[in-house]
Structure 1
Amino acid sequence: MNFKPLDMDSKKLFDQFLNPYPFLVSTYNFTNLFIWRNAQNIQYAHTDHALYIMKEKENTYFIPPICKDKTKGKECYDSLLSFMDAKGFEKVLRDVSKSQLEEIRQLGYEFSYESDRDSAEYIYSVESMSSFSGKDLHSKRNHFNNFIRYNQYTIKHIEESKEECLALALKWYEDSNQSDALRHELTGIRTLLEHQEFFNIVGISVFVDDICQGFSLLEVLNEDVILNHIEKADRRISGLYAFLARTSMEYFGAGIRYTNREQDMGIPGLRKSKESYMPEFLEEKFIVTFH
């Protein structure tokens, strides 16, 4: 296998492999992979039948291959496992979904697995996120209403406010701990704003007193799910994050069943925030070790 780094030209190939599958999660989403390609040293290889993706955090690892023809699943997995053996990599797959776990079982492999809670993705009802209805979202509804009550604001589409959104992202980064992850995220934001149409990005910005104080960048994956890539706001403005989350769904969620706000990566504050929006469910992911 000849693995190589992602670039924008890779999207055409990824679309050929991924478009037939109505993914709910962001694991194979090209935009998501492209944003984090440098942070995780993401590379890919392909044959006529399969797409393979390799990542590197502490160690090199792989996610399950995507096979064009399900009848060639065993061949696709055998090729990957042989490559891992030849290179001396541990035979471990990460970000494995429940359906892929069952597929591996049906292919006859001997393996063990464990749940990876930090990588589980938060899936919400668009209907609930666009209204904050019900007692479970009472606090979010209050935050939303407080923002409206105490602020003079204007909503703009992203294409009308790219420079202002980037300026906010830069300020947000400068006021942060400036970690490597946030630096890569900032680069990703710049890329999505500069190539909005290429990545099929939609979104809104919120101006308070004529200054851009928040924005969201989203992507409609299919008729079932809209993926929330980026959400940034001035933390000092009470209720602005709740306003962004709800208003984004009002603008772009019509006719879509779910919105995916991705994983919490085991970060306590992020987990608390994502749980507070009351997800419909968590899309589990597993770590699989082949024997």
Structure 2
Amino acid sequence: MDFIALDISHKALIDSYIKAQRIDSSEFSFLTFYIWRKAFNITFAESHGCLVMQFRDNGYPPSLRFPLGNGDKKAAIREACAHQTERGFSPRFYGLTADMAKELSEMFPDRFKIKATRDYYDYVYFTKNLIELSGKALHSKRNHLNRFKKTYDYKYMPITQGDTDEIMESYNRWLSSREAEIDYYLAAERESIRDIINNFDIFGCKGAKLYANGRLCAFTIGEQFSSDTALIHIEKADMDVYGAYAAINQMFLEKEWSHLKYVNREDDFGLSGLRKAKQSYHPAFMVEKYQAILIGDGTL
């Protein structure tokens, strides 16, 4: 089983496997894989008509993702687990949806220890609710948006491939405002954002930038993830511009994604502040995620 490093030339191939089934998890998007390809040393292999992704976080053993496609998933899982075992690793699958976890346990009864990973649950909202911000539950968000509009001379514009330098300047300003040091993951995200904007047409995504009093204060990048769902990958805003996050969130959905029923805003990574912020928008539902670790000697 030969795992190869993911790059932009693999988009069509990987998309063909992803689109073979409906998956609501934000983890199964080529753009997600691409953004984090270096941070997690993402590789992939084809096996028995399926695609298997492998992640290798620094300092941690590799993890697999559930096979994609219409091939023999059971055989692909056997081969992927054997590949891990031969290299001295305990086979493990991360990022499983509830359906994947169920299918895995049915294919291999009592062979995997499966547990929920709450920190990686996706937050999915009704797009209409986040555009209109109506009702008592979203009253504070509507106030943030209205105050932004009253306080600043603002302009909303779509991102184009020529915007790389301006967006990266904004991203670096966002980084400098953080109290924590720039870690390996943020450095990888920064590099990926530059690559995506430089190849915007290839990725088929959409982006927006927001100005307040002539200064770029926020930007966002997303894509249509399924027939009824948008997926927001990147959203950054200057903390010293009041309401900038609320504004870029609402305007991007209103301008680009109002025709879709849902918007997936990914997980909270277990960060308390981010969890509070995402819960405050009152998701329609969560996409549950699970991990599964093979029990026993590593053979299936």
TM-score (norm 1): 0.95
Q: What one-letter code is carried by the residue in structure 2 that aligns with 1:275?
A: Q
The CA RMSD over aligned residues, in Å, is: 1.5
Q: Distance in 1 between matches of 2:47 and 2:65?
A: 16
Partner of 1:280: 284
> Which AA in structure 2 matches 1:166?
M
Aligned residues of 2:125 and 2:263 also touching (Cα < 8 A): yes
Alpha-carbon displacement from aligned partner over 1:76-131 (angstroms, at most 9, x marks no partner): 22222222222221122111111111111222432221110111111111111111
Per the TM alignment, residue 209 of structure 1 is displaced from its structure 2 partner at its CA by 1.4
CA contact (8 A) 2:220 2:232 kept: yes
Structure 2 partner of 1:268 = 272
Aligned equivalents of 1:201, 1:193: Cα separation in 2? 9
* Aligned counterpart, 2:193: 189
Q: Is the 8 A contact 1:6 1:42 kept in 2?
A: yes
In structure 2, the residue matched to 1:34 is 34
Question: What are the equivalent positions in structure 2 for 1:97-112 lying under 5 Å apart?
Answer: 97-110=97-110, 111-112=112-113
1:20 match: 20
Whether the 8 Å CA contact 1:173–1:186 is kept in 2: the answer is no
Q: What count of residue pairs does the alignment treat as equivalent? A: 289
Deviation at residue 48 of structure 1 after TM alignment? 5.1
My pick for the range that moved more, 206-215 or 154-163, is 154-163
Distance (Å, rounded) in 2 between the aligned partners of 1:156 and 1:234: 17
Give the letter for the 1:17 counterpart.
Y
- Is 1:67–1:76's contact at 8 Å kept on the other side of the alignment? no
- 2:194 aligns to what SS in structure 1? helix
1:50–1:67 Cα contact (<8 Å) kept: yes
1:66 equivalent in structure 2: 68
Secondary structure (helix, strand or coil) at the match of 1:243 reads helix
What is the CA distance between 1:246 and its match in structure 2? 0.7
What pairs with 1:4-153 in structure 2 (closer than 5 Å)? Answer: 4-47=4-47, 49-57=49-57, 58-69=60-71, 72-110=72-110, 111-153=112-154
Secondary structure of 2:74's counterpart equals: helix
1:216 counterpart letter in structure 2: T
In structure 2, runs of 5+ residues without a counterpart are 296-300
Give, in angstroms, the shift of residue 162 of structure 1.
4.1
Distance, in Å, in 1 between the alignment partners of 2:191 and 2:233 is: 13
Partners of 1:273 and 1:185 lie apart in 2 by: 21
Native 8 Å contact 2:207 2:221 kept in 1: yes
Scaled by the length of structure 2, what TM-score is found? 0.92
